[in-house]
Structure 1
């Protein structure tokens, strides 16, 4: 591994058009899971100027059965969509929660997919699709996340909080951030560049108002990043293109699943390619990515490695994973092959295995917990009740025992 280098990650705000789409898709997932914990959902969202379009496949008792919507179900979906847009903060002429045009093209799940996924007779519940999923953790931050991504997320969370509280009333919902850190001996030592582009009220691209906005952003960054990472040499690029008044879906179309690197590890770890938002937990794109993060985070939290990548692979309709791979990148306290066996053992004891059923039951994923995941990252978040259970570090003792660590 290189020890001295520059590395960069980006994040996007909840008002970014792709993140608007992700949040709508996950709000729909939550709605259906609140009605039927065994619901099957694959909901894609398109956002553009004054329009939201849903498409995809569902199966949900009491909501959509035998090819028919229950009375009032479509109206409830539309209310959830509009409420999601309202909570993000869009009340603009080009995208307004109350006046946007809404279209729903959700339809029933293919019976050919369902027969592979459903448990029947001696057949366990199969994976909802084939694919590879990665989890990662490192000790660069207290959240055990890559520092460049963790700080990129936190800058935008700060901007959003100040926008909603009224502390920064000149901010609008759409924003992007990017953090470049210099690493020495494998650890972040200084921020060389900070990029923040934020949608703003009219007139905040020139004169005293522009200076006010830029000063605010610098203060927000200073409140988020550790002081030792910032210096007079840190370069700031704040709204480098100039005016940013037209944003969100009015400025650019948004689609579910286009920010998979923002959602995961900011490029610091591999990605299997599958998006999370809009999918129920039988889809291993989502649930297996969560469990690999859970296992990798607990390995690092246990002090068994300072960096850990885990891969799982599945075939559609097949319950057991095809492979499990653990790599501690030369930072582990023992042999990685032995650690793989420890992971299998602990997953079997604590989760009921790494089958789709074992993961979703072991992590209690059949709940309406997904809207909160759809902005500012699925990982590195604080577990809170039912939310973000894959961020708990309650496997530490079991992993230590299994490895003799």
Structure 2
């Protein structure tokens, strides 16, 4: 069965699933494989759940189940998923797509941009959950309907050439890089590797003569976008959109209009400004842009604030890397009051891991943060010993046992910050605080 015939079945289907348990009548099940799973083994379950078609890449499973006549074998199911997404994008090439990548803030920027553009476009498509990798992006493209007016897609990456590959599937018309920070150093090998990797978005847009949104106050973005079609926002230079940032007050001005949000941390002002500039480019009225930014409520444990027992708990534990950690701690340090930080390991840093974790401890030692709890093997293995200001735990369970015996319900605590890498899952301790 060729791609054209399968695509027609996809058009008539109820969607693509990669988890057999989510398959319903009329779904297409694509059996992906990974280090710890093999979707091919769930072929019969997918068929019994009503799959219209099952795509496998295991010869034995195909031979055993071909009696069902709902099964197709391909060389590689992941490559097939990506190929099907590319075919779908080609069919819907009239739909403009904005691609957003970067080391920090890409999800917040994507969500703000979606909120802004929703003021003009009633049918907007965007990346949901954390579907920003080599599997999630094809699934996101395949979820785009023909009546979509505009799409905002987030691209994550942990090594070079990944963004290049994703751009070939997405075929974006516009792009924005939030920043170049110390994220996924293990895969990118160095900060230079990170910069090259992120700039793969520029390479694609330049080749296709498409448009890039540029933070003119970021010297890398500004210099590397020379010669491209670009829309620049800046405070420091004359640009397409002039911005005035009030860093301490955590809001900004566009055309003498004050724009603020519920996002904590002045480091989010660039995320706000980029979403505003994209909205201005697409001719969303400034008043509606302001309302969209103000109405946005952060979710998924990203820059969320929880009020509990006259105490503010800042939850920013969806992910962490050295750049985002320092920015968050700098903001937290600037707050007046009694403060406790609960920090988890920063993962995927490779050879830089120990040094970057020690840098965080150096910052904490000099800060006004009253007490810090460090959770994880990497923090625990640094040469810094536990002190009155810093207490270390090898894992989350150790911290949980400690906190159950030593409650944090001190009247003098005004703020608690919770931040760590996704795999540490620090959101599970919120109820204990």
Provide the TM-score with structure 2 as the length reference: 0.21
- Length-normalised TM-score, structure 1: 0.22
More helix by share: 2
Greater relative contact order (CA < 8 Å, ≥ 6 in sequence): 1
- Which structure has the larger Rg? 2
Greater strand share, structure number: 1
